[in-house]
Structure 1
Amino acid sequence: MHHRLRCAGLSNDSGSIAVEPPFKFSAALAQAILHASGVDVARATFDPVSGGSINMAYRVGVGDQSFFLKRNRADALPMFEAEADGLAALAAIGAFRIPRVLGCGATDDDAFLLLEHLDLRPLASDEDGLRFAEALAQLHHDTGAHYGWPRDNFIGRTPQINTESDGWARFFILHRLTPQLERARAKGYAGALGRDADALLERVPGLFVDYRPPPSLLHGDLWNGNAAIDDTGRPAIFDPAVYRGDRDADLAMSELFGGFPHSFYVAYRRAWPMAEGYEQRKTLYNLYHVLNHLNLFGRGYLGQAERMVRGLYQELRR
């Protein structure tokens, strides 16, 4: 999802958020956080952190310690559980600084995710790009036997199906593009999505006749707002939508909303050169994210989605 990096710590989720009223938490929520994490927030300070439209987020001060709290309605617990699972998977590789999950749970009214608070800054210098590229190549070299993931998760607040598959093209068609196209049609966004999308899906396997990517561990939502450098100079990532797939999908997403420093792309390609056909695959993979933005945020993304569908279809029919 399109997020904003928070100068106070982590990014949260997509879009923008109105000014948050003073945080009022119940005794039940404080008790649930204490039970899940061992952190007593009964007398904590809560500073709202702006920049997202899905969750409410706070920098939590307990004595001389700081934490990062995400809060939502109780029915958002599966989203937080999936995020915790993804952060744990990324942390296990050791390539990036990942915010440590301290607790996750819900009361009758609220779901929450309590994380380690990190002091972060955006990627800016050539050195930042180089370090981030080396870490990402290390992450992508962690490969599995199947595409997908043992559990479903979320891309923003959209459910993301991860049923494991032995075929990458089949996985991407069935579990990425098709659900987003069905949502778009249900919302009334037909046009070129209706005319060309089905024909495009029929031709997608042709992109992968001679290209069989290994099932790399992916961040899954790798735009520059979910990437940072910590206060020690180490690359950091957060807000994942993890699964195993073509590493090009992460690289493609990194170019979609502003991109990373040029040094990142040079260093990544030096560490692990891209296979022929990346430009076509990039458009295909980013179509998933543009469709998701269309479904979440509305008609402002329709023209871009239509152009991507039409352009890919024209290229693949040649």
Structure 2
Amino acid sequence: MTSDALTPESSAEFDLIAAAIAGRTGIPFRPRAASPVGGGSIHRAWHIDDGSRHYFVKANALAAAPMFAAEAQGLQALSAAAVVPTPTFVTLGQTPTQAFLVLDYLDLSALDRAGGARLGAALAQLHRVSGDSFGWREDNFIGATPQFNAPHPGWPHFFGERRLRPQLQFALQNGVDKALVAKGYAIIERIGGLFIDYQPAPSLLHGDLWSGNAAQTREGTPVIFDPACYYGDRETDIAMAELFGGFPSSFFAAYRAAWPLDSGYETRKPLYNLYHILNHFNLFGSAYLGQAQRMIEGLLRELKR
């Protein structure tokens, strides 16, 4: 097998991964090539193949095993909804030094106008898959950060206590000024003010829908991946899709045509994106602190009106 800057370093590690693939599929698999795949900031990834079958492998230290298990569960939940295509889960496991996740490999490219429109319409259908309460069957991860999902019947309570409060606590541990964290806690105490005339249903969410987690196949079929699934307000997926850019305008237009957003969405959008900006601060450092501070101050002004 050939490799380009292959990590795990030894071919023996890939032999173990190949054996796991064969064990799950029931077909012998002897990879002849492994090519690194970029795009991720947390895990390492490769495209491996035997000339006819192609797989996508993600690997990290053994401590990452729960992250891969949660990702597999999320992909399977999205697949079961049968609305938006996802890479097919193959297997996961561990070598002596690595945890790994294996998916079917897809040759993907950035969403174009048509692909964006297809994804927007499909995402609206996905959001119509509803749960009994807000949350998920177990905790999972947003990036490498734990995401707490104990179910609750009330959305404002769930988002304040399961999303914002943990991120604020992590931020305090990571050196954020106590006064700013206290302002974040004040938002949680007043959060109901953003939901006076709005009661969202618990929609099945991707949960981490930035443009790097969506693409299209050569045939133009949209695909989503790297989920952080839970049942929540559908506005959160749209808010994050807007946060970092990268989605074609056709995506948003098609979504709104299929299921218009509530008139209060623009007011709640900073609340939902504060979760992700705090998470980026906790994962990647101070470059996101100023943005978090501006969002907190803006939300407090809105809640004092």
Q: Same fold per TM (> 0.5)?
A: yes
* Residue 92 of structure 1 pairs with residue 67 of structure 2: no
Contact 2:161 2:188 in 1 (8 A): no
Q: CA RMSD in A?
A: 1.7
CA deviations over 1:211-232 (Å, ceiling 9, x no partner): 1101000000011111111122
Distance 1:276 1:244 in 2: 21
Match of 1:16 in 2: none
Contact 2:134 2:232 in 1 (8 A): yes
1:287-298 map, 5 Å: 287-298=274-285
- Which 5+ residue runs of structure 2 have no aligned equivalent? none
Q: 34-43 or 265-274, which moves further after superposition?
A: 34-43
TM-score, length-scaled by structure 1: 0.89
Give the total of aligned pairs: 299
How far does residue 195 in structure 1 lie from its aligned partner after superposition? 4.2
- What SS is found at the alignment partner of 1:98? coil
Match of 1:69 in 2: 57
Match of 2:298 in 1: 311
1:208 is aligned, of 195, 205, 229, to: 195
1:71-150 map, 5 Å: 71-125=59-113, 127-150=114-137
Distance 1:62 1:231 in 2: 21
TM-score, length-scaled by structure 2: 0.93
CA deviations over 1:267-296 (Å, ceiling 9, x no partner): 211111111210121110000000000000
* Residue 24 of structure 1 pairs with residue 10 of structure 2: yes
> Percent same amino acid at aligned positions?
51
Distance 1:107 1:32 in 2: 10
| Structure 2 counterpart of 1:233, one-letter code | G
Match of 1:172 in 2: 159
CA deviations over 1:227-256 (Å, ceiling 9, x no partner): 111122211100000000000000000001
Distance 1:71 1:37 in 2: 20
Match of 1:59 in 2: 47
Contact 2:139 2:147 in 1 (8 A): yes
- What SS is found at the alignment partner of 1:255? helix
Contact 2:165 2:185 in 1 (8 A): no
How far does residue 53 in structure 1 lie from its aligned partner after superposition? 2.6
In structure 2, relative to structure 1, the CA distance for the partners of 1:161 and 1:25 (3 Å cut) is farther
Contact 1:215 1:246 in 2 (8 A): yes
Distance 1:315 1:98 in 2: 38
- What SS is found at the alignment partner of 2:42? coil
Q: 38-47 or 60-69, which moves further after superposition?
A: 38-47
Contact 1:192 1:306 in 2 (8 A): no
Distance 2:31 2:5 in 1: 19
How far does residue 29 in structure 1 lie from its aligned partner after superposition? 4.5
Match of 2:252 in 1: 265
Match of 1:189 in 2: 176
Contact 1:222 1:250 in 2 (8 A): yes
Distance 2:160 2:116 in 1: 32
How far does residue 31 in structure 1 lie from its aligned partner after superposition? 3.5
Q: 187-196 or 223-232, which moves further after superposition?
A: 187-196
